[in-house]
Every structure is written in C-alpha cells, then in structure tokens.
Amino acid sequence: MHGTTTTTLLKAESPPRFLRQHYQTIITLSLLLVDALGIVGGFYLAYRLRLVIPLPEPARSVPDFGQFLPLLIIQLLAIICAFFFGKMYHRRRTRYSGDDLVAIFSGVSIGTLISIAVVTLLLRGDSPAADFPRVMVVYAWLLTIGLVIIGRGLQARVQRALQMRGIGRTRVVIVGAGEPASTVIQRITHNPRLGYDILGLVTYDHQPLPPGARVLGSLDELSRLVAREAVDEVIIALPNANSQDLLTVIAHCDRSTISIKVLPDQFQIMAGQLSVGELSGLPLLNLRDVALRGWKLTLKRAIDLIGSATGLVLLSPLMFLIAILIKLDSPGPALYTQERMGLDGKRFYLFKFRTMRADAEAQGPGWTRPDDPRRTRLGAFLRRTNLDELPQLINVLLGDMSLVGPRPERPVYVEEFRKRIPRYMERHREKAGITGWAQVNGLRGDTSIEERTKYDLWYIENWSVWLDIKIILMTIWQTIAGDSENAY
C-alpha cells in the first residue's frame, strides 16, 4: 500500500448536500438567464443601432420597439432551443474551447434563421414585425453572438469562483497505473481551475502505481467506492489497455449518472491522423508528417500579415493607454524586450509590455510563478488578461513570429531542455507564436515542458487554417472568461 501525499492527490470536503443536489440545476438556470439577457439585449441594441446607423439606406418610419416584441419572443425561444439541442446546457466544466464558440455562433445563427422563417409564415403581412428592417436582423445576429459570449464568460468566472470554494467540483476517481495515471494526476493538480477533486486511485491487475498515489481499493471494489464517495467521474488511464479491460472497468461503474473518460495511448492518438501514401507504387501509412509546407506557408504568412496589421491599427489606442499606465505605475520602460529562440533556432528579440520591476532579473533569469513578488500592480492585471502580449503583433508583422505557434523560449532554457527532452528542437521547425495549442490547453507558465513539447509537436504535424482559428478563438474566450494566468 502506497502512502498518501497532499501535494499529489487533492481531496476537498464535500459541499453541503443541498448544493450538491441542486448545483447543476442552478448552473443551467444561470446559463439560461445570461443567454436570455444576451438575446434580448442584442435585439434591443440592434433596434437602437438601426435608428442611429440607417444602413444600407435611411430608415423609413421604424415602428416603436413594442411592435417588435412578437419577433423578439420567437427569436428568444428559437435560439434557446438551438442551444438546448446543441447540448449547451449540459456542462460542468468552466473551460471553453473553440468548439464552444462555434456552438454559440451556430446556435444564434440557426435560431435567427428559424425566427425569420416563423415570422414570415405566421405573422400577417400588415404586422410591423413581419416587415422588420433586414439590416436590424444582421445587427441583432452579431450583437447577440457577442453578448452571449461575454455573458457566458462572466458566468464562467462566477462558476469557477464557486468551484474554487469547493462548490460544484467534480469528484473523480482514476482507474489506472504507471505514467498514464501520473499524467492525469499532474494535469489536474496543476490546473485547479478545472474544478476536479481527485478522490484517489483504483488499482488494476497489479500494475505499477504512480509515486505517492492514494489508493482507494481494487477494481472489484469500484462499485462500492463509487456509491460511498459520491463519485461524479471515472477516468481510465491504463497503459496498454485492450477493449476487454475497458469493458471490465465500465461494467463496475453501474451508476448512470457517472461520466466515464478514457485516456488514449500514444498509438491511438497517432492513428487518428493516419493517411495513406506510396513509395514508387508501394503503399505506406503516414503516421507523422510536417503539415505546414509549400503554399500553406504562404497562406499562414498572409493571415499573419493581415491579422497583425489589423490588430496594431485597431488596438493602437489601447496599447498607447497601457504604455502610459505602466510609466505611471512603476519606474522603467513601458516596453520590455527579451531574446528568444524561434524558427530553425534563430534568435530574435520579443516585445512585451513590462509587467515586472525594472530590476526583476538582477539575480539572473528565472521562471515566473503565481503571485510572483517581482510583478507590479498593473503587471498582474496585464498578465492575467494577456494584454502584455499585444506588442508581439510587431514581431508577427516583422516575420519573427506567427499569430499561432509554439511559444518561444529563452536560449538559456532551450539549451537545457534540448539535452533532456526528446524531439524538443523539432518544435523550432515552425515560427513561434503569440499563442499556441499547448497554452490554450492549460500548459502555461511553470508547467511540464515535456507535456508542452508533445502539444507543440502535435500542432506542427496537424496544422490547418481551422486549427489556427480555433486556437485564436480559444485564446480570446479564455481571456474573456478569466481562464488564463499568462506566465510565458
């Protein structure tokens, strides 16, 4: 039997019974409320905007807002139904991905189209709502998407604050052994905002256990453990598990309310990207290839140029304001430059807004950490909101970086990592990025470099325009939702 460590496995006290029983209902109602406010607010602002900006032609006699209430009610119900069937009210997590933003976009779009169709078919032609200004629909569509994203971001902040106080956290048991179980434990303990409480580990077939694991029992006891510990989720992390092993574990989770997740092995991950090639007529399976080459490089560079130039123009007032506030907050320059290593190991100087005291590295370079005493008051806010990274749009415009890619490290750290991490230098096959696949998956700051490298290499080998867009959307969402403590 292995000993228990409080640093490896976390076990929080159970919240009050009432909150455990009704937490999901409360969360669902809160999501419904913020969605309804976003839909109504977007519609009303669209009405006001139509009066102020009468495009594409001057408004004729636009009826009072009350005349559009039937359309508003239909649109509210249609979008809520689209969200419901899109399973947007069936979540416990407070972390959003690019897929969630796409779901919001799709739900609002589908609901808007349905409401237009219903109004056109059901309302009489002499009804003002049946002859609503078309540009108002476009305004309402765009504003609703924006307000729903903002509202859900604020709701996620509140939900996460409750989870950090032990309310609504997911009680999880890990069935596994060896490195896979250690990986799951490390990821959860390094990301407390995920809302997980690890109750312990269930052993399987006498396989080796992670160091310091708290063992709850064997697989034969899993059914009793699930009931006794009020388990919400079971994560299966078994090395080299076959289908029969998985079925055996699932059979012991006999409560329908339990969520079951499986950590795939490395071959399963690679097999998801299999493609067929040939060598002089001999068929070959491609397990790994460099996705970003040829015309794709030109496309990615074009996106970087357009994105960075547009961003610098639109965000220049904000960047100017931040620079002034930094100068007022603490002595030293507003901009901070630091040597980093990018494409093909080439060194360049990365631009950032200064978030630490001017003498922060008087004792030499060091990793940033939560509540770093070297940070200034304004610097803590800038790092939490990612605003300190805005000057890197200049690096992107100059061609040293890309909007999306592996985060660049300092040369002193690169020399250290390349000696102990296999394939580490392969992440320099592409340009460094302002944000990346590893970062939007929670691997920021003082987290495992080995794990970051795996995510960076996966990104390089699976690049697509859509993946870049997804990462950018996830970065924006995590910034809105306050789900990123930036510590690059």
Q: Residue 144 pLDDT more than 90?
A: yes
| Mean pLDDT, range 352-362, rounded to an integer | 75
Among residues 271, 311, 23, the alpha carbon closest in space to that of 168 is found at 23
What's the whole-number average pLDDT of the chain? 76
Residues 6+ apart with CB under 8 A from 143: 41, 42, 43, 45, 46, 49
Band of the pLDDT at 6, cuts 50, 70, 90? very low
146 token code pair: 């924006």
pLDDT value of position 414: 86
Alpha helices in 377-448 (DSSP H): 377-385, 392-398, 411-420, 437-440
Residue 317 neighbours by CB under 8 Å, 6+ apart: none
pLDDT band at residue 41 under the 50/70/90 scheme: very high
Q: What is the mean pLDDT of residues 188-192?
A: 75
- At 12-31, the pLDDT tens digits run 444 555 665 677 788 888 89
pLDDT of 392 over the 90 cut: yes
Give the pLDDT confidence score for residue 373 in this predicted structure. 66
pLDDT at residue 189 in the model: 77
State the pLDDT at residue 143.
92
What pLDDT, on the 0 to 100 scale, is given for residue 269? 47
Residue with the bigger pLDDT between 334 and 384: it is: 334
Cβ neighbourhood burial of 283 (10 Å; 0-12, 13-18, 19+): exposed
What's the rounded Cα separation, in Å, for the pair 36 and 22?
21
Query: Residue 69 half-sphere exposure, CB side, CA atoms within 13 Å?
Result: 3
Q: Which domains does the chain have, with CATH numbers?
A: 17-164 (no CATH), 170-263 (3.40.50.720), 295-480 (no CATH)
Write the pLDDT tens digit of every residue in 318-344: 999 999 998 888 888 888 888 898 888
Region 402-419: what's the mean pLDDT? 87
Name the residue with tokens 């995920």: 194
Bridge-partner residues for 198, per DSSP?
Answer: 172
Question: Taking the complete model, does pTM exceed 0.85, yes or no?
Answer: no
Please tell me the predicted confidence (pLDDT) of residue 49: 83
Q: What is the distance between the alpha carbons of residues 57 and 441, in angstroms, rounded to a whole number?
A: 46
Average pLDDT over residues 170-199: 78
d(CA 235, CA 253): 11
Residue 3: pLDDT above 50?
no
Whether residue 250 is predicted with pLDDT greater than 90 in this model: the reply is no
In this predicted structure, what is the pLDDT of residue 10?
A: 44
Q: How many residues does the chain have?
A: 488
pLDDT of residue 486: 40
> Quick one: pLDDT at residue 342?
87
Higher pLDDT, residue 241 or 280? 241
Candidate from 73-77, 242-246, 375-379, 456-460 with smallest mean pLDDT: 242-246
Gyration radius of the chain over CA positions:
26
Name the band, by pLDDT with cuts 50, 70 and 90, for residue 35. very high
Least confident of 124-138, 281-295, 468-482: 281-295
Q: Of residues 336 and 395, which shows the higher confidence score?
A: 395
* Confidence (pLDDT) at 391: 93
Q: Give the pLDDT confidence score for residue 321 in this predicted structure.
A: 92
At 427 the pLDDT is 84
44-85 tens-digit pLDDT: 998 888 777 766 555 555 667 777 888 889 889 999 999 988
Percent of the chain with pLDDT over 90: 13
**pLDDT of the residue at 279:** 44
Question: Span 378-385, mean pLDDT?
Answer: 81
Is the pLDDT assigned to residue 482 strictly greater than 70? Answer: no
C-alpha to C-alpha distance for 39 and 35, rounded to whole angstroms: 6
What pLDDT sits at residue 396? 93
Of 287 and 478, more confident: 478
Count CB neighbours of 311 within 10 A.
18
Are residues 193 and 131 in contact, defined by beta-carbon separation less than 8 angstroms? no
Residue 17: exposure state from Cβ atoms within 10 A (0-12, 13-18, ≥19): exposed
Q: What is the pLDDT of residue 38?
A: 94
Measured distance CA(72)–CA(43) in Å, rounded: 7
